[in-house]
Chains A and B, each alone.
Chain A
Amino acid sequence: MSSIGTFTPAPGRAPMRAIIGRQIRMELLLTARRGEAVVLAMGVPLLVMLGAGLFDVTKLPTDDRLGYVVPGVLALTVMSTAFTGQAITTGYERSYGVLKRLGASPLTRPGLLLAKVAAILVQVVVQVLVLSAVAVAVGWRPELSDLLPAAGVTVLAAAGYTGLALLLASILKPETTTGAATLIYVVMLSVGGIMFEAPDLGTAGWFLLPLAAHAHALRETLMNGASVPFTIWLSLALWAVVWLTAAARNFRWE
């Protein structure tokens, strides 16, 4: 190797922070670009919030319609982004060979997972801010004394949803993943205590319906200024641990 040519090898990995930063930007760019993902992530929650929050279309256990509906809608949004959207996207990325290609790049696999989780958190924060702003504009007046526990349960819920999404995307075909993720979304939307009261299953309900648990926790904190029930902390933490572990064990790149 005498002279320096155009392609003379000079391999090396960029700083990991820069790599992950670029990957996060790409994840966010592509999410923003996919219309159906944006509609699912923002349109449906907005519609539910304005419809059920402002009009007597459903029977709620309280007269403070916005106070009841808005926390539920925030919980729904977290689920649609971290679970439904993520499951569908990851399923297709796997079938397109994108995961394989990225797994074999300087990004590394943990780097890709980190970027995915970070991109989801960014999306969730933006969505929650936008929805909250709209809600406040139409008259929602939340209690702000217990914001921290509200954020805490939200992170736990997002973690559990992401784990379940990555798990589904790993074990099912992309078409099946899309179907299953959408079905679960619709079921949760119906019985998750967003527009209607969740079916009273007692404490077991918090473990079966994480959306209802999350929505209830947000309602307690943001509507009543109360603390999050211990069983909800427990159920959401359990969801996060179980699904993230299962996803890490079963995650497939091809």
Chain B
Amino acid sequence: MVSGDVAAVEVKDAVVRWGDTTAVDGVSLSLGRGRVLALLGHNGAGKTSLLQVCEGFRRPDDGTARVLGLDPVGDHDELMPRLGIMLQSGGVYPWAAAGEILRLFAGFAANPLDPDMLLDRLGLRKVERTRFRRLSGGEQQRLSLAVALVGRPELVFLDEPTAGMDTEARHTTWQLIEELRADGVSVLLTTHLLDEAERLADDVVIMRNGRVAATGTPAELTAAAGIDLLEVRADPGLDLTGLRAHHTVTETSPGEYTISGALDTTGLAGVLTWFAAADAQVTAVNSRRRTLEDVYLSLTAAHATVGAGK
């Protein structure tokens, strides 16, 4: 019943300025139907500003945003029933009970999910009658998530969905987001948690200072950076001079060699060829791939000169 031809979100060259500050500086991204896109970046990288544009809270100062093929500002009333929006904080009457809030928003929808099911799934049953302002930060977050989902939306915007949650709630939320994806809901989430992005996202957009620093699937992003560390077990006490001309090598313990630094395929072949040439008996090779965290840190570090990744 849902048209799959139009992208869930299509942002082109979006610019958002708050006074003299440029929060978003020419960002483009695309979220396909039924996919999960994570906007990753430090606080102040422009994630929330970009989300505000997608949610129709403000127009971009330049560029365009289409959501489900519609204009988030101009087609606001048509779009809202199809979206689930989880704000970063607040958005709820402090004096209303958790259950009352969820049922209010359920009542706005034509085919809502069962609020009781959501209360159970998100561990909110015991605070159903507790007023919003008495909920813990994590409980408030989970209620906001429930409110975003209750209308059976096609597309959800989750602004730091697991901020303030404990480990258990975070895992529950992750499972829920995976289930959303499996059921065909498109998800755009912001996070500064790398494991969250790595686990949930089909596509990752790393933002830095309002620009896209890199974009790709988690696998693409980590693979592009190559192997980060190679451990080789071979005969002890090899003369490493030749290898050290090109690599940082240490013999951490007798016969255990660690080659650190990014290695592409050619570099890897070179290292192994060197061991072969040295007539060393190699008994084990262990590579550690770069994690998203390594990629992220190298892209977002203050001194990094890396501009647009790809």
Which of the segments A104-112, A130-138, A157-165 contacts the partner chain? Answer: A104-112
B176 to A, closest residue via Cβ: A7
* Residue B274 CB within 8 A of the other chain: no
Interface string of B21-33 (1 = CB under 8 A from A): 0000000000000
List, in ascending order, chain A residues with CB within 8 A of B179's CB: 5-7
**Known A-B contacts A6-B179, A30-B93, A104-B57; A22 and B107 likewise in contact (beta carbons under 8 Å):** yes
Q: Compute how far the CA of A106 lies from the CA of B84 in the bound complex, rounded to whole angstroms.
A: 10
List, in ascending order, chain B residues with CB within 8 A of A106's CB: 80-81, 108-109, 151
B186 to A, closest residue via Cβ: A9
- A96 and B184: CB pair below 8 A? no
Interface string of B255-285 (1 = CB under 8 A from A): 0000000000000000000000000000000
Q: Compute how far the CA of A67 lies from the CA of B154 in the bound complex, rounded to whole angstroms.
A: 61
Which of the segments B94-102, B202-210, B214-222, B299-307 contacts the partner chain? Answer: B94-102
Q: Compute how far the CA of A8 lies from the CA of B151 in the bound complex, rounded to whole angstroms.
A: 11
List, in ascending order, chain B residues with CB within 8 A of A30's CB: 93, 95-96
Q: Compute how far the CA of A1 lies from the CA of B91 in the bound complex, rounded to whole angstroms.
A: 32
* Residue A19 CB within 8 A of the other chain: yes
What's the nearest-Cβ distance from chain B to residue A182, in Å? 19
List, in ascending order, chain A residues with CB within 8 A of B182's CB: 5
Interface size range on B against A: 35 or more
List, in ascending order, chain B residues with CB within 8 A of A34's CB: 95
List, in ascending order, chain B residues with CB within 8 A of A9's CB: 2, 82, 152-154, 183-185
Q: Compute how far the CA of A26 lies from the CA of B107 in the bound complex, rounded to whole angstroms.
A: 11
A96 to B, closest residue via Cβ: B90
**Known A-B contacts A26-B100, A98-B90, A101-B91; A7 and B180 likewise in contact (beta carbons under 8 Å):** yes
Q: Compute how far the CA of A10 lies from the CA of B109 in the bound complex, rounded to whole angstroms.
A: 9
* Residue A202 CB within 8 A of the other chain: no
B56 to A, closest residue via Cβ: A104
What's the nearest-Cβ distance from chain A to residue B295, in Å? 30
- B100 and A10: CB pair below 8 A? no
What's the nearest-Cβ distance from chain A to residue B3, in Å? 11
**Known A-B contacts A9-B185, A96-B91; A105 and B80 likewise in contact (beta carbons under 8 Å):** yes
- B85 and A13: CB pair below 8 A? no
**Known A-B contacts A19-B108, A104-B57, A106-B80; A10 and B34 likewise in contact (beta carbons under 8 Å):** no
What's the nearest-Cβ distance from chain A to residue B78, in Å? 9
Q: Compute how far the CA of A18 lies from the CA of B82 in the bound complex, rounded to whole angstroms.
A: 18
Interface residues of A in 81-120 (CB under 8 A from B): 93, 96-98, 100-101, 104-108
Q: Compute how far the CA of A221 lies from the CA of B292 in the bound complex, rounded to whole angstroms.
A: 76
* Residue A154 CB within 8 A of the other chain: no
What's the nearest-Cβ distance from chain A to residue B270, in Å? 48
9 contacts between A and B (CB under 8 A): A6-B179, A9-B183, A29-B96, A30-B95, A30-B96, A98-B91, A106-B108, A106-B151, A108-B77
Given A10-B110, A19-B108, output 9 extra A-B contacts at Cβ < 8 Å. Answer: A9-B154, A11-B81, A11-B151, A13-B110, A22-B107, A98-B90, A98-B91, A106-B80, A106-B151
Which residues from chain A sit less than 8 Å from chain B, CB to CB? 1, 5-14, 18-19, 22-23, 26, 29-30, 33-34, 93, 96-98, 100-101, 104-108, 254
Leading 8 A-B pairs by shortest Cβ distance: A12-B110, A101-B91, A5-B183, A97-B90, A7-B183, A13-B81, A97-B91, A1-B184
Which residues from chain B sit less than 8 Å from chain A, CB to CB? 1-2, 34, 55-57, 76-77, 80-83, 85, 87, 89-96, 100, 104-105, 107-111, 113, 117, 147, 149, 151-154, 179-180, 182-185
